[in-house]
Chains A and B, each alone.
Chain A
């Protein structure tokens, strides 16, 4: 495993240098250096029948040194390639934010990033053209990864050596922290029946406190809002390597559906990594608009932006299924949304004793 990972890094470095060589050759042939990328918009993602995930379509856009803007972008790319190649050579890593600040130290002023969005986007560009993931560039996000809790035993490759951890017995209330590159983890043993991804910390704590993981042999993955790549990656690995069913439990509003969407189908921004990150057969538990009606949950009215988001989801290729069309139209109809915690209106144990068992039973998970 360790030697495999080395190879991944070497491969990453090779790919980066190949990319630089491509620019070099373009120059040398008297051509204008260009970098062609798929257009990263909603209208340019399509369903890939083979892998069951959403990937970029055929439309591309070109970054070319033909314009001042394009030339700056390519200069930044050249500097970033050099930085990443050296980082890999030295076996170090850095965060996306560090890259942004680090650019300030580069001698070419034109190469400095104007904001972190720009550096983040450039890393994504490089991932796409080099077909290497950010993790293999040793770039990590600042936000700490989310947590796991459940009957899973794993081995993690840390800087201080290998650690074997049981995600219930060896961890505190907070659970096991997912590392930035979950590919350094090896699953050893487990007693899991299904994986449950939970959006909010409050609900995750409720489930732990009520012993839901124990009672149902569930692995609780805390998504912490829009899930980080590491969280999505480990979810996918749990599904693929351990052959576990995955369900997603979020609030009942359009933003939460997008969280489900990115777990299940991949996000628009990282559709190039869908195959690597998405868990296409993850299933949505709730809160469903139908639940709001059935359980008469306490609600908030939909705001204008909620309505826009719902309408936009109706056009989103990832949500074009009978189930989602029905649910979204229902929600637009009732004009209401509900949080996970709204279930507490029927008692603190309602969610673990009644709601989840019923839903999971319906879905055939338990």
Chain B
């Protein structure tokens, strides 16, 4: 077999040959070849995407300037092309910026900002310009007038795809009737096959932007589609925020560490992150110390009986300080040490230092560093003499009684040995070390005593040991040291992630709010029922996000086939790639039968006359691709989407079940209301008596509330009987044309121009009746009105 290597060797310079064909690709060039990634894969789609990009920009611009958006979209046929005009009443773009905004890809104000906005990468509108120039060869025509300027600037420009730079074809000052705003005119090869998507996009935009006025003209419309404002309330202005400690990746952290002006970790954390104050910083740094330095084990201090021995040890370690001072030192130190329950190495150092100072002051002798070191060196071995029984107490405490004592002894001995032999003089270890100690001990115990310590038992022991260890007070590395060392940075990142930190502030987000979600749905869909839910903010990858869901049900919404799912990200409708979107996935996974909607097979898109809308607002919406059509399956977002939908769906469920029970009741009422009179008629025929009253029986059957009037000798009695199983409080208004006298019962009379309103609001317990009586002098006419009881439950015979 011929060696491939030798063949290569024969033809020298192949790499050089290949290198000739290798050159930098401009982003514009890349786009030219990968139009689909930005949503320009076909003429039909391209048109919708261009409209979408321009409208998104217009909405962002107006909102940012605090202007109520007024956006005009016009599509017309010009020769072989479609001409697209989008106008807004935004603040306008300065003369210098216009070419870059429209003529350079990846130019924008959004990419680096942690703030909710529609546009993110600065690709969209310039991509539309590029698409138009690629298909029609015509330049984009842009007019922009900034607020307060007398004239508008007019540009004709194309993108130089080699350099990704704008190329201005024409530039002049012109007049424009709008006081401020931007107008873009593009010609492109396109078709209107995606008319439905275009209409959906505009309509759905109107749903989530009830503060915007939108108008669409296109050749297929006899009349322009107009969407008026439903509210004057602009969305809340968003604030830019710093990243949240829970959401950064290692790479980002390293970059931030490299770029920060802070010198200390605590400064860095407080300056660069949101929700990190002094307290949180302390927590993060302690947690970082535990990871980076490890903790020091504390050991039981000697009892007072053993104190004398310790005093002697100390006295032996001190030389040349005189008997008196030495004894004073030893006694004070021993006093302090034995007064503590447990002690760690670092603590001992501090105590020795303190004692040196105070005894030094008292006796005039100096206990210098060397002496202090000697003392610690002498004392520590005494304190750690019996690690084994100390650890034994810990093991015994957390181990079940079923375990053999021999096993526990073996565990304790092994763990103690590990501390003695592997942790140096300070008995310092990280949690991982402790886990290793325990595992090693468990293996030895298995071997020697044939006693198994499983994972849970090991974890319990490790946790118990760890809880007796003390965070050290060593100085943490400086920012620049961490920036240079991935491992330290990783410890810091872990410490940041593991520390409880408040969720990021939400003023960087502008949710629609559940009221306006409902208002938006009401504006565009004529339904019987609306519900909406806005979740609290959550974090994904350091970016806060809020999920909102709304449901409209019944009414004029089409009832055949699947429900309509409206997806939104940062107030932008997502029209394409429904199947790839996490929102769709979540909707399909929910068991809609529980919520009263049909769902063949128990999963998939539910069916019925419903519109479901889901809005995800975030400083960084994770899309599956640059064309921003579908949300990626990010677990944190999926969870919130599900919770938001379920919250709104619960309301739908109770509405539907109530509706169904009322429907059933109505059906029953219908049938029984038909049957009983027929039965009564037949009975009167058979018995030869006049027809019996059936209202009482009817009300009883329907668990109804019946309101009945009897008049006898000028005395009117209203009787409310509650046949249901709960209290009922009907609002009864009896309108008379004569004055009611001698009103007996808790009711008010209002005299209105010869009409008397008897208002009565009794509370009637289940199975009880209440009566109201009054008298009238002459033949009166009555008009009774009962509210506060569902019509289906009410039988009025008065």
Contact = CB atoms under 8 A, between A and B. Distances in A.
Given A68-B668, A108-B678, A20 B697 contact: no
Contact of B696 (A31, A81, A111): A31
A28 interface: yes
A338 interface: no
Contacts of A27: 676, 680, 683, 692-694, 697
Interface string A28-53: 11111100000000000000000000
A26 interface: yes
B701 A23 contact: no
A111 B671 CA distance: 12
Interface in A55-77: 65-68, 71-72, 74-75
Nearest to A81: B686
A362 B684 CA distance: 62
12 contacts: A20-B683, A24-B689, A24-B692, A27-B680, A30-B696, A32-B697, A65-B672, A67-B668, A71-B675, A75-B679, A78-B679, A78-B686
Interface string B676-704: 10111011111101001111110111000
Contacts of B279: none
Contacts of A66: 701
Contacts of A68: 667-668, 671-672, 675
Nearest to A66: B701
Interface string A1-41: 00000000000000011001101111111111100000000
Contacts of B682: 20, 75, 78-79, 81-82, 108
B674 interface: yes
Nearest to A74: B679
B680 A21 contact: no
B683 A23 contact: yes
Interface residues of A, number: 31
B687 A71 contact: no
Nearest to B692: A27
Interface centre among B668, B687, B689 (most CB of A within 10 A): B687
A50 B628 CA distance: 91
B697 A26 contact: yes
Given A17-B686, A71-B679, 5 more contacts: A23-B683, A24-B689, A24-B692, A28-B693, A85-B686
Contact of A30 (B667, B668, B679, B693): B693
Contacts of A23: 679, 683
Contact of A71 (B676, B686, B696, B699): B676
Contacts, number: 91
A26 B692 CA distance: 9
Interface of B: 667-668, 671-672, 674-676, 678-680, 682-687, 689, 692-697, 699-701
Contact of B676 (A24, A25, A65): A65
Contacts of A82: 682, 685-686
Contacts of A78: 679, 682-683, 686
A21 B685 CA distance: 10
A20 B681 CA distance: 11
Interface centre among B668, B674, B699, B701 (most CB of A within 10 A): B701
Contacts of A243: none
B672 A33 contact: no
A10 to B, nearest CB: 15
A117 interface: no
A33 B667 CA distance: 20
Given A30-B693, A81-B686, A110 B700 contact: no
B456 to A, nearest CB: 55
Contact of B701 (A24, A28, A65, A79): A65
A79 B682 CA distance: 6
B678 A28 contact: no
Nearest to A64: B701
Interface of A: 16-17, 20-21, 23-33, 65-68, 71-72, 74-75, 78-79, 81-82, 85, 108, 110-111
Nearest to A85: B686
Contacts of A75: 675-676, 678-679, 682
A75 B743 CA distance: 42
B671 A30 contact: no
Given A28-B693, A110-B675, A110-B678, A20 B686 contact: yes
A202 to B, nearest CB: 48
A200 B582 CA distance: 76
B692 A28 contact: yes
In the A-B complex, the 6 residue pairs with the smallest Cβ-Cβ separation, listed nearest first, are A30-B696, A27-B692, A78-B682, A20-B686, A108-B678, A28-B692
Contacts of A79: 682
Contact of B675 (A17, A20, A72, A81): A72
Contacts of B674: 110
Contact of B687 (A17, A29, A65, A111): A17
Contacts of B671: 68, 71-72, 110
A31 B671 CA distance: 18
A79 B681 CA distance: 10
Contacts of B693: 27-28, 30
A164 to B, nearest CB: 39
Given A32-B697, A65-B701, A68-B668, A21 B692 contact: no
A192 B679 CA distance: 52
Contacts of A72: 671, 675
A74 B682 CA distance: 11
A31 B698 CA distance: 9
A41 B672 CA distance: 29
Given A68-B672, A110-B671, A110-B674, A32 B687 contact: no
Contacts of B685: 82
Contacts of A28: 692-693
A225 to B, nearest CB: 37
B697 A30 contact: yes
A26 B694 CA distance: 9
Contact of A65 (B667, B692, B697, B699): B697
B227 to A, nearest CB: 48
A20 B671 CA distance: 21
B679 A31 contact: no
Contact of B678 (A20, A30, A67, A111): A111
A110 B672 CA distance: 10
Contacts of B696: 29-31
Contact of B697 (A17, A31, A110): A31
Interface centre among A16, A72, A78 (most CB of B within 10 A): A78
A209 B446 CA distance: 98
Contact of A24 (B667, B668, B675, B687): B687
A67 B689 CA distance: 26
B685 to A, nearest CB: 6
Nearest to B685: A82
A66 B695 CA distance: 13
Contacts of B672: 65, 68, 71
A78 B700 CA distance: 20
B700 A31 contact: yes
Nearest to B667: A68
A85 B678 CA distance: 18
A25 B683 CA distance: 10
A82 B680 CA distance: 12
B293 to A, nearest CB: 77
Nearest to B673: A71
A266 to B, nearest CB: 31
Nearest to A16: B686
Contacts of B700: 30-32
B91 to A, nearest CB: 67
Contacts of B683: 20-21, 23-24, 27, 78
Contacts of A74: 675, 679
B493 to A, nearest CB: 68
